[in-house]
Amino acid sequence: MSQGAELTVREVMRSEVPVASPGTTIAELARLMVEYRVPGLPVVDEGVLVGIVTEADLIQREATVDMPSIVAFLDAVFVADAGTPFEEELRRVVATTAEELMTSPVISIRDIATVSELATLMLQQRINPIPVVNDARQIVGLATRSGLIELIARLETETLRGISREE
């Protein structure tokens, strides 16, 4: 897929992007993700991208919260916990709106970035989806792992067709 480095995010992004407002309920967030078949929704307040709610956020909301272990040693009390901070887990479990559940600040990518840059960002930051923004930082699309897979499938098919024609 040597051509991939020349392709831009515009060629893999979804341009029809449902967005949520900070006050959008959890039920509406889930409904929008299902209806539009997207793994996450950008949260926009007065035209500004302020957060993102992903499938993982909704699923984590249903997970069991791990209480930190309290250890008393001499006159001190220690909290032994190596996982997600308790306050963060609790915040997500009791969330009722996008604002309470969203991840902020948001990692986004420019529409002129390359597909290689997008793939690298997704892997290094372990995020899906990524809002795509223009020069004015307005949302113009949503880049997803499935969009990248569709591009890979298309390019590989074209490559195979090219090879079979040469034979």
Residue spans of the domains in the chain: they are: 2-166
pLDDT in the model for residue 3? 47
pLDDT in the model for residue 6? 84
pLDDT in the model for residue 166? 65
> What residues contact residue 129 under an 8 Å CB cut-off, 6+ apart?
38, 39, 40, 52, 54, 142, 143, 144, 145
Three-state secondary structure along the chain?
CHHHHCCEHHHCCECCCCCECCCCEHHHHHHHHHHHCCCEEEEEECCEEEEEEEHHHHHHHHCCCCCCEEEEECCEEEEECCCCCHHHHHHHHHCCEHHHHCECCCCCEECCCEHHHHHHHHHHHCCCCEEEECCCCCEEEEECHHHHHHHHHHHHHHHHHHHHHHC
pLDDT in the model for residue 4? 41
Q: Which residues of the chain have pLDDT under 70?
A: 1-5, 63-73, 77-92, 164-167
CATH 3.10.580.10 for domain 2-166, yes or no, is yes
pLDDT in the model for residue 163? 73
pLDDT in the model for residue 2? 44
